[in-house]
A and B are shown apart, each in its own frame.
Chain A
């Protein structure tokens, strides 16, 4: 993340998209906040909530990019507010909006149930790094750690296909699916592969790579989608050649 110089005590204008439950359209409220060089977007939003508008609704928890709850869009880009310095958002007003491609509950809080439900069929592979290496005497293959996924939903918000087709499984679920296939731990990954081998699965991705760009945790969802395609293609070619051999 690049940062620009920000003088101590500088005032920053923050334009927040606000939406109340049941209200049809969002409105934009502006707030001026005094900010230092290390002030994060979450600091500024908490300041607004504490001293200017108690009705501002936002969600956060750990404040160190571990829980993934403070995902939002700042100047059009998906960020975790807790680790995004205001100085990295240019010198002009900062437009803050809730994540896209999810139903807005209130102000900056969106409904995450669709995301969580989309992860369920993958078995949600949460495997610790020490477990991954446990009992292996010989060095094994290098696994991409999709379990680093915070389930913050930034990838889904940035995905142009998730924005145009709500039936698409989405990058978070597909990344988790590839994790299950990559390290099945004795389970048969065929069910997960059959689940993603669908027009709304890994074949629906249009390779804009925004999911990988915005991921705050170094997960590579687009890489996972392409790996799923490669694996499915390999299995289909194997099936065809096997059938050909059986006929002979």
Chain B
């Protein structure tokens, strides 16, 4: 073999290094890590929704007028689309959580990828049905 050398990129800054490190970790990962990250991301989004929900409920204390305007807002198609995403996050997080509970109890460990694929497929099917129902198609 013959070879030629080049040198020396300048050193990265810590933030760049951290981000590249995270990107490097993500690049080499497998389906199990996709499931791992999916559960955490959807979990955080559901926590964020809970706070949003509490904020909306707080409007009840400000009288029927403000509550009526909120209910009117919820009929907007854009808001409905966001609500449908909430259903998606619940489905993904819940079904993946059942997979984790089973696998974590030593049940079907060798089939964890198939469990995940099944959970995501079921989530997709239910989500489509729910969206069609929300928008009055069925």
Contacts and interface: CB of A to CB of B under 8 A. Distances in A.
Given A26-B11, A27-B10, A76-B24, A206 B36 contact: yes
Contacts of B103: 207, 226
Nearest to B11: A25
A93 to B, nearest CB: 11
Interface string A26-56: 1111111111000100011001100111000
A109 interface: no
A53 B109 contact: no
Interface residues of A, number: 44
Secondary structure at chain A's binding surface: helix, strand, loop or mixed? mixed
Contacts of A44: 1
A210 B106 contact: no
Given A210-B30, A210-B33, A48 B3 contact: yes
Contacts of A193: none
Nearest to B30: A213
Q: How large is the interface on B (under 10, 10 to 19, 20 to 34, 35 or more residues)?
A: 35 or more
Interface string B2-39: 11111111111010010001011111111111011000
B24 A230 contact: no
Given A76-B24, A213-B32, A47 B105 contact: no
Contacts of A35: 1
B112 interface: yes
A52 B23 CA distance: 29
B3 A33 contact: yes
Contacts of A209: 30-33, 112
A160 B4 CA distance: 36
B6 A31 contact: yes
A76 B5 contact: no
Given A31-B6, A97-B24, A163-B25, A210 B109 contact: no
Interface in A62-100: 73, 75-78, 95, 97, 100
16 contacts: A25-B12, A29-B5, A33-B1, A51-B3, A52-B3, A76-B29, A97-B24, A100-B25, A207-B100, A207-B112, A208-B32, A209-B33, A210-B33, A223-B109, A223-B110, A230-B105
Given A30-B5, A209-B112, 20 more contacts: A25-B12, A25-B14, A26-B11, A27-B8, A27-B10, A29-B5, A32-B3, A33-B3, A34-B3, A52-B3, A52-B4, A75-B27, A158-B29, A207-B104, A208-B36, A210-B33, A213-B30, A213-B32, A223-B110, A230-B106
